[in-house]
């Protein structure tokens, strides 16, 4: 297995430009740096029918969301509630704006992008609480925005994949509206970094062990939080009775083993999970569509899986 040349270019250009690793910056600096880098490398010039920015009520105050209506929308459409990646510390609805536009148009779907609260200002479990609140708000209100309230799925990348899985688990526990599908893009499922892929890819491929420790330090409040299934969903007592899932992983990503383990447990316990693997890719590649062609393939695969789930 070799690193994809386009993925290698992303690493090389960061080194050539002397970009400091995010974990060497303060949280405020890393947030700003990631905003700039994401907007430079993401999908370019993606049209959209309409976006609506709304502040919705949450347990800790208002939660900013962005609702996307695809180009040519004429009727109520299925809905994807999307949670952005960024280690529960960086990222925003702006860093993932082009990606959400592309998903909305490709579906076509209504996409609800959630700007959940993050560390260090709002540590765990604030992101979980906001994510659940945003999903429940969508169930109750999306019909007003031309979304189909009977066809709502969750999805996200990395930390957003983690939150999507946790939202699904919490909906099952509460016996409330269960998402129709989970699109989990290289999700974090286990805070204890002990898998072989964590050892093999701990350095050199953007998501280093040092960066993961930095994210955990600014997200979690105490060491025992790592054992809370709301932070490590693979530690839930049961993964039965969950919505079907597509779980996508990347070949040079330390999170791949825990994501595969989550898919395996879902299937072993009676839920349905399909796992696909992008061998030459780095963690974070789906939001690098301006420079990595495989990002489009990853989006298209997720969109097809969502369509199939909504048609059932």
pLDDT tens-digit series, residues 22-81: 999 999 999 999 999 999 999 999 999 999 999 999 998 999 999 999 999 989 999 999
* Separation between Cα atoms, residue 119 and residue 216, nearest integer Å: 9
Computed over every residue of the chain, the mean pLDDT equals 97
Rg (CA), the chain: 18
The DSSP bridge pattern shows strands 63-69 and 110-114 to be antiparallel
Interval 127-180: pLDDT, tens: 999 999 999 999 999 999 999 999 999 999 999 999 999 999 999 999 999 999
Instruction: List all residues 6 or more positions away from 3 whose beta carbon is below 8 Å from its beta carbon.
Output: 11, 205, 252, 280, 282
What tokens were used for 244? 């079907």
State residue 50's pLDDT score: 97
* Separation between Cα atoms, residue 308 and residue 181, nearest integer Å: 10
Please report which confidence band the pLDDT of residue 10 belongs to, taking 50, 70 and 90 as the band edges.
very high
Interval 75-91: pLDDT, tens: 999 999 999 999 999 99
pLDDT at residue 296 tops 90: yes
Read off the pTM: 0.98
3-state helix, strand, coil in the chain (%, to 5): 45, 20, 40
State residue 1's pLDDT score: 79
Interval 240-282: pLDDT, tens: 999 999 999 999 999 999 999 999 999 999 999 999 999 999 9
Catalytic annotation, residues = 158, 253, 283
Domains of the chain: 5-311 (3.40.50.1820)
> Do residues 7 and 281 make contact, with C-beta atoms less than 8 angstroms apart?
yes
The DSSP bridge pattern shows strands 110-114 and 147-157 to be unpaired
What tokens were used for 48? 């959209």
Q: How many Cα atoms within 13 Å fall on the side-chain side of residue 119?
A: 20
Question: Interior CA angle at 278 toward 274 and 283, to 5°?
Answer: 105
What letter does residue 22 receive in the DSSP assignment?
G
């Amino acid at each position: 297995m070799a690193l994809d040349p386009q993925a290698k270019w992303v690493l090389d250009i960061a080194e050539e430009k002397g970009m400091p690793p995010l974990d060497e910056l303060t949280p405020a600096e890393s947030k700003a740096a990631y905003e700039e880098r994401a907007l430079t490398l993401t999908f370019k010039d993606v049209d959209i029918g309409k976006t609506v920015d709304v502040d919705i009520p949450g347990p800790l105050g208002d939660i900013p969301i962005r609702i996307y209506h695809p180009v040519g929308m004429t009727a109520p459409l299925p809905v994807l509630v999307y949670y952005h990646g960024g280690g529960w510390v960086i990222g925003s609805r702006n860093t993932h704006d082009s990606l959400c536009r592309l998903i909305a148009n490709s579906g076509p779907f209504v996409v609800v992008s959630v700007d959940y609260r993050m560390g260090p200002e709002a540590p765990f479990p604030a992101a979980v609480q906001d994510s659940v609140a945003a999903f429940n708000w969508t169930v109750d209100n999306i019909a007003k925005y031309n979304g189909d309230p009977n066809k709502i799925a969750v999805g996200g990348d990395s930390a957003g994949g983690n939150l999507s899985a946790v939202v699904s688990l919490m909906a099952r526990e509460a016996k409330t509206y269960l998402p129709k599908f989970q699109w989990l893009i290289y999700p974090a499922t286990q805070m204890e970094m002990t898998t072989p892929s964590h050892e093999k890819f701990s350095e050199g491929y953007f998501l280093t062990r040092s960066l993961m420790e930095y994210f955990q330090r600014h997200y979690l409040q105490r060491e025992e939080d790592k054992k809370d299934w709301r932070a490590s969903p693979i530690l839930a007592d049961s993964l039965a009775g969950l919505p079907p899932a597509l779980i996508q992983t990347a070949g040079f990503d330390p999170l791949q083993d825990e994501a595969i383990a989550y898919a395996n447990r879902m299937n072993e316990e009676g839920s349905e999970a399909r796992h696909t693997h992008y061998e030459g890719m780095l963690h974070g590649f789906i939001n690098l569509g301006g420079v990595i062609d495989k990002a489009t393939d990853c989006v298209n695969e997720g969109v097809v899986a969502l369509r199939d789930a909504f048609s059932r």
